Amino acid sequence: MTLKELLCGISYVVIKGNDEIPISDIVYDSRKTVEDCAFVCISGTITDGHRFLREAEQNGVSAIVMEHLPIQLTEIHLNHMTIVLTEDSKKALACMSANYFAHPDREMTVIGITGTKGKTTTAHMIKAILEADGRKTGMIGTMGSYIGSKKIPLLHTTPPAYEVYRLLRQMAQEGCKYVVMEVSSQGLKMSRVWGIQFAAGIFTNISTDHIGVGEHRNFEEYLYWKSRLFCQSEIGIINQDEEFHTMIEEGHSIPFLHFGMESSADFYFDTIKQEKRKGFLGLSCELKGKACFLCEIGMPGRFNAYNALAAITTAIYFGCSQSAICDALLNIRVKGRTELIPVKGNYHLMIDYAHNAVSLESLLKMLRSYEPGRIVCVFGCGGNRSRYRRYAMGKISGMYADFSILTEDNSREEPLMEIIKDIIEGMHQTNGQYIVIPSREDAIYYSIKYALPGDMIVLAGKGHEDYMEQNGQRIHFSEHEVAQRILKQISSESERNQ
């Protein structure tokens, strides 16, 4: 493919060389540049690709696409290279990637989901319904990329544009007819999905969780980028109970469908009943509005009722059967999202990704509504992150859990006990009881070993993650594997003591 063909769809100026040269691949990481490829300089939140021209030049790239001319350009021998200047290199990368992979998004029905919370669960629910209805579905999101049941790990909720289009091409080649994609505000801001026409865009909710250094300057900017999904969507599916939903819809001419808990919504739950039995916490709901039927959801909590409503609204819009919707939602399981781990005793053990005060409060309040004997919360906080988050999580656990076990959770380069001290400061604003067990595996062991009948033990913060970040290294740590190992160990100990 020629550089000119790759750049088709964006405005650019050839500063040096010509755009008729053949290009073997597109690269945005200078460490991965190879001979005859095009290197796209991306200005990111941490570093700037324009700083690595010498490395790209030494690796024999044929073309460099940039959005400004760096000073060091004059210091590099560029005799064999074509230099292209464009207004926005992030959009250039998306456009070039779309052309390189022959616009795979146009061969499938792509559904985008944005929102602070609920993207992952809603995406899994929609995928499960579509597949129950006989439609092979791919998925891109926080927990990786899925082509049917095959998983491909990812580093970002919404990966860079080149990776997005590469995955979409792979999905199309393997027979997917639908793709469900989590679309983060950073993904929209960094043009990672630029050029994709979404058959439907979904908005779940919004809170102030992603405001700060390296993310969004303020809430207004965060809201703006969330709303940008609907510039690329054929229809919007919106949570009308979210107070900012009118601002999300503002300025868009596409039609909208609304879901919520009020009868003014297109789709709403008239009744929601909690269901609790051994190994099962869920909901029984009566759908009303433009469709009416009863369904049971295999995940607990009002927030999961909202996720299910988003999925149901989407599924009905795309013509899925009622039986597919009900079967999929009854059997839905999302790794690390209010996920129950089977245990022999008369208690419940749950793994959940709640890793900030808002999600932890929502989780613990929900669990309290199921009337457990005690709520035991095992959690920690990340290093090199806001200290306020630690105070807040400590206070929330102290208020809503009967007993807290403070432990490790991605301490990164920060001393673990300094993090725990901050959590304790928040805990001391309540009358909550707690113990400190620095090793997360030991903390989990303690929670299970001393579980009482009726206990609800929640391992919060890690969710689907299978690693722990410590001292600048990422080491393997799967809470699922640890919990299973401990359950077997305690069972063996109990048998020996009989």
The tens digit of pLDDT for each residue in 163-203 reads 999 999 999 999 999 999 999 988 999 999 999 999 999 99
| Structure confidence at residue 45 as a pLDDT band (50, 70, 90) | low
CA gap 466, 478 in Å, rounded: 4
Cβ contact 409:383 at 8 Å: no
Does 3-99 match 339-496 in CATH topology? no
Report long-range pairs for 14-19 (Cβ below 8 Å, ≥24 apart). Answer: 14/82, 14/83, 14/84, 15/69, 15/83, 15/84, 15/85, 16/78, 16/81, 16/82, 16/83, 17/63, 17/81, 17/82, 17/83, 18/82, 19/63, 19/82, 19/84
What per-residue confidence (pLDDT) applies to 222?
85
> Closest by alpha carbon to 314, among 394, 203, 411, 413?
203
Q: What is the mean predicted confidence (pLDDT) over 13-37?
A: 94
Model pLDDT for residues 407-432, shown as the tens digit of each residue:
999 999 999 999 999 999 999 999 99
Ranking 185-189, 296-300, 305-309, 327-331 by mean pLDDT, the lowest is 185-189
CATH number of 339-496: 3.90.190.20
pLDDT digits (tens, 9 = 90+) for 389-407: 999 999 999 999 999 999 9
pLDDT score recorded for residue 236:
98
C-alpha to C-alpha distance for 27 and 65, rounded to whole angstroms: 10
pLDDT at 303: 92
- Cα 342–Cα 345–Cα 348 angle in degrees, nearest 5: 55
Q: How far is 3 from 130, CA to CA, in rounded Å?
A: 38
Residue 212: is its pLDDT beyond 70? Answer: no
Report phi then psi at 264, rounded to 5: -75, -15
From the candidate CATH numbers 3.60.40.10, 3.30.497.10, 3.30.70.1140, 3.40.1190.10, the one assigned to the domain spanning 102-330: 3.40.1190.10
pLDDT digits (tens, 9 = 90+) for 462-479: 999 999 999 989 999 999
Mean pLDDT (whole number) for 10-26:
95
- Is the per-residue pLDDT at 210 higher than 60? no
260: phi then psi, degrees, rounded to nearest 5:
170, -160
pLDDT at 60 over 70: yes
The pair of structure tokens assigned to 427 is 């805990």
Instruction: Give domain 3-99's CATH superfamily.
Output: MurE/MurF, N-terminal domain (3.40.1390.10)
Q: What's the rounded Cα separation, in Å, for the pair 200 and 266?
A: 16
Per the CB < 8 A criterion, the answer to whether 108 and 181 are in contact is no
Q: Where are the domains of the chain?
A: 3-99, 102-330, 339-496
Token code pair at residue 311:
């999925």
Rounded Cα distance between 158 and 125, Å, is: 18
Q: Which residue has the tokens 């030494």?
A: 58
Q: What pLDDT was estimated at residue 117?
A: 87
Q: Considering only 36-45, 193-202, 366-375, which range has the smallest mean pLDDT?
A: 36-45
| Overall pTM > 0.85 | yes
Distance (Å, whole) CA 392 – CA 208: 14
User: Does 76 score more than 70 pLDDT?
Assistant: no
Say if residue 219's pLDDT is above 60: yes
> For the residues 144-156, what does the mean pLDDT come to?
87
Instruction: Decide if pLDDT at 213 tops 60.
Output: no
